[in-house]
Amino acid sequence: ETAARLDPENAEIWAHKGMALAKSGSYSEAMICFSEADRLGDNRAAEAMQKMAALMSQADLDENVVGVN
């Protein structure tokens, strides 16, 4: 959080923040960070966003299946 405020144009910082948020389960916030990293030129961010989207879709499916039972 602090690093992103100190150097908001650093794509690597945004990507790392996105990874940390994803690991904590904050997928929507992670996507925002990956999007910012991508905008700033981090080539890995687009791949991370695709993986994140897949995880979010799977989580939605899992939640819906559990809700049906």
Prediction pTM value: 0.70
- Between helix 27-39 and helix 43-68 the angle, nearest 10°, is 160
pLDDT over threshold 50, residue 6: yes
Average pLDDT over residues 49-66: 70
pLDDT in tens, 15-53: 889 889 988 988 889 889 989 988 998 888 888 888 878
C-alpha span between 38 and 36 (Å, rounded): 5
Q: Give 61's pLDDT tier (boundaries 50, 70, 90).
A: low
